[in-house]
Amino acid sequence: MWNKIKQWFVDTATLSPKKSLIMSYLFTLALLPGLAQLKLDFDVRIWFREDDPKIQDFDNFIEKFGTENYVFLALVSPDGIFHQQTLKDISDITNQLWKNDKVVRVDSLTNFTDIQSLDGNFEAFPLIRSDFNYNDEEMSKLRSYVLAHPMLPGLYVSRQGESAHFLIRLDKPNADQMTHGETIDEIRELLKPYKNYDFKIVGTATVVDELKKIGFKDNILIIPLLMFFVGLIIYLTLRNYMSVLLVFQVILLSSVATLSIAGFMGLKLNNLSAMVPSVIMAIGITDAIHFLAIYFLQRKNHLDSAIYSLNKNYVGTILTTVSTSIGFLSLGTSDLLPIRDFGILCGIGSVLAWFYCVFTIFPILMLTKYHPHANPESEGTVKFPSPVNFCLAHYKKINLFFVVFSLGFAYLGIQNKVNSNPFEYFNHDLKIYQDNQYMNKSYGGFSSFEMVLDSGKADGIYETAFLSKVDQLEQWMRKEIGVSYISSIVNFVKMFHQADHAGDKTYFSLPESSEKTAQYLMYYSFNLPANLDLRNFISLDQQHTRMSVFWSIQDSKHYIEATEKIKAKAEELGLPVMITGREYLFNGMNDYVVYSFIDSFGSSIITIGILLGFLFRSFFLGLISMLPNIVPVLFGAGCMTLMGKPIDVGTVLVGSVCFGIATDDTIHFLLDIKKMQGKELSLADKLNEVFSETGFALLSASLILVISFLIFLIADFVPNYNFGLFSAIILGIAFLTDFFFLVSLIIYFSHKKIIKI
């Protein structure tokens, strides 16, 4: 039955070329409507299922307190901000920001409400006069007052007074916007007339938008260069333009078909799944080069060469497609949706790449009768220099070298840490990175998380015992964790208590009476505009209160360690607490993402090893087929440690992708070895005969892939840079392990009579 299926594929591709092409193109056209249904989503919640407890906590927070999606804007003035025109400009910018329909709240110096007690009565008044008419002495006093204020420095103004800060809270983006990019662009446009200042913009919404923009920008630059160099290398390797066009067609059709299927399946593209076309490109090149290299190596006519290439590569490409698909589809069980979608799409793309190789490459070659090297007089093939003689002479040393080499780099790899920092995804020359550095230096950073504290009963937030515990937690976080700013109702209560005692700073503390606390907070809410009151700090039943914490910790490892310490301290104080926020979700899922990849990687190694062992009817051949492909991944892991690159979503993705690609070459080689069984040839002659054909295809595919991935080194988006760098390194080492380690292992086990060739 298998032979009949194989013969159908060969006959259809070579004897019915028009039928094959029409089938391929109609299949692609039928899928095209799916592209229109393809959606993009870069929000952090796409990494979680809707029933995930972390998402449920986040949604509960939003329901109680509203959005926590901030943009942090700093206005930097060369002469400081305490000048009439600068204060007026701050006020104008604040008012204009309010007019944006996606902005739900803006807090700045010019709309901050201060409290004073006059004749026993509280009076709320603007911190900055609306006429901005200050003489020099008044301006000096204002500066001193603001910089000494317990709530303003570090949040609304830098501690030296050279910049003012706007906290801009955004509503959810529209369904068709994906991110807040349009709103952030509108904010930048609003700032253009104010040329006397330097503006710094950071915040989760800004980072998400910049990641999307810079990823697209890199693709616009990299993809044309990638196509040019891939085409150039294919031409230099195979010495004809037709191969270039045929490989490009496979890449294009398989990528379009895969993305179209994603649209029909309702899968969304994000920063991870946007890498799918690059993976399909690599798989498509590998399959196509194996078919084309064998085709053009033959000195037969175009039909005989095609039939020979298809027959020789059929089982190998089927196996590599199955093994690669298994590896990627193993990610489909992940609870993290982008990983699941990435695995599913790469698995589908692997199958489609093979389909288009068979049913477009050979039909076009048959219709054009293109074969520049055809020579019917010759039945031989172009010989390829092999490393067999070298391996026969030194196989023990080679095996020892690779074993020690692998163990050494494996040791280095396990010394690395799982960690990520979104700002380290940007080239350090980019403005967003520099803006972040400024904010960390001048304000102590605006990385953040949200805390919900439960008083245990309705109206419980007014009780002094509860607020005292909250205050203790805040003081501990400032001292032990080093947070830069905490925004909570505790600050407002303390501000009232100080005002209630004629502004005496020693009374910037909580009152002893719960009734006083309730009085203070009710007065503040009733005497402010609805959009500036404390509703975003207090739940409707006054049982829960919100605490927004800002700090300079941005890498996931220290972020999670610090938040776990905070949870433990809250528990010690008897404070029920829930921590959430987009940054918390992002940093919290990093370990889970990495370990999901590692689990899937391990399971794919076992599954593919068993599959190949069954195919070759030899446990040791199955084992051998895995070893040369694990070595390059271990080397890549060690290199990451040596280069100071932590393990994150991007770097661990490289291992999974490269393992799947590297396994393909090993399978092709071992299948040709298996065909040698039974031939009356020496081991050396058998291995040399394999290299005479397979060696050229392996070298060509590896060279094209390594140089192609090196193109990613021009990327501004650091994950793209890392993806290209480590893919090139791992695939380069994979070529060497196939040529030397795999051959030496076969020689060793053959001499030991463990395997028979």
What tens digit of pLDDT does each residue of 133-176 get?
Answer: 899 999 999 999 999 888 889 889 998 899 999 999 888 765 55
Task: Provide CB contacts within 8 A for 239, sequence distance 6+.
Answer: 296, 372
Exposure class string for 716-726: b at 16+ Cβ within 10 A, else e: bbbbbbbbbbb
pLDDT tens profile 496-535: 888 888 788 888 889 888 888 888 777 776 666 544 567 7
Least confident among 13-17, 89-93, 534-538: 534-538
Q: What backbone phi and psi angles, to 5 degrees, belong to 481?
A: -100, -30
At 381, is the pLDDT very low, low, confident or very high (cuts 50, 70, 90)? very low
**Residue 375, pLDDT score:** 55
Query: Which residues are registered as beta bridge partners of 451?
Result: 547, 579
Inter-residue contact 199 to 191 (CB < 8 Å): yes
What pLDDT was estimated at residue 166? 94
Out of 154-168, 680-694, 721-735, pick the least confident: 680-694
Band (379; pLDDT cuts 50, 70, 90): very low
Q: Which amino acid is at 218?
A: D
Residue 19 confidence class, pLDDT cut points 50, 70, 90: very high
Which pLDDT tens digit goes with each residue over 26-80? 999 999 999 999 887 777 778 777 888 888 999 999 888 888 888 999 999 989 9
Please tell me the least confidently modeled range out of 120-129, 291-300, 554-563: 120-129
94-130 per-position pLDDT tens digit = 999 999 988 988 999 998 888 777 666 777 788 898 8
Q: What's the pLDDT tens digit per position in 666-681?
A: 888 888 888 887 788 8
Give the separation between CA 217 and CA 534, rounded to whole angstroms.
41
Instruction: Transcribe 464-522 into DSSP letters.
Output: HHHHHHHHHHHHHIIIII--SEEESHHHHHHHHHHHTTTT-GGG-S--S-HHHHHHHHH
DSSP line for 362-419? HHHHHHHT--TT--TT---B-----SHHHHHHHHHHHHHHHHHHHHHHHHHHHHS-B-
- The answer to whether residues 123 and 115 touch, using CB atoms and an 8 Å cutoff, is yes
pLDDT in tens, 481-500: 989 889 888 888 888 888 88
Query: Rounded CA gap, 350 and 258, in Å?
Result: 9
> Is a pLDDT exceeding 70 seen at residue 395?
yes
Q: Is 308 helix (H, G, I), strand (E, B) or coil?
A: helix
Residue 224 near residue 454 (C-beta atoms within 8 A): no
Task: Tokens for 274, please give them.
Answer: 């946007």
- Residue 538 binned pLDDT confidence (cut-offs 50, 70, 90): confident
pTM: 0.83
Q: Taking residues 361-374, what's their average pLDDT?
A: 88
Round to whole Å and give the CA distance between 588 and 567. Answer: 14
Q: Is the pLDDT of residue 384 over 70?
A: no
Spatial strand order of the sheet with 198-202 comes to: 103-107, 163-170, 69-76, 198-202
Within 80-227, strands assigned E span 103-107, 113-118, 121-126, 163-170, 198-202
Distance CA 367, CA 364 (A): 5
Higher pLDDT, 237 or 545: 545
- Summarize pLDDT for 258-274 with one digit per residue, the tens: 999 999 999 888 777 87
- Mean of the per-residue pLDDT values for the chain? 86
Are the C-beta atoms of residues 451 and 579 closer than 8 Å to each other?
Answer: yes
Q: Which residues are bridge partners to 448 per DSSP?
A: 550
**Distance between first and last Cα of the chain:** 26
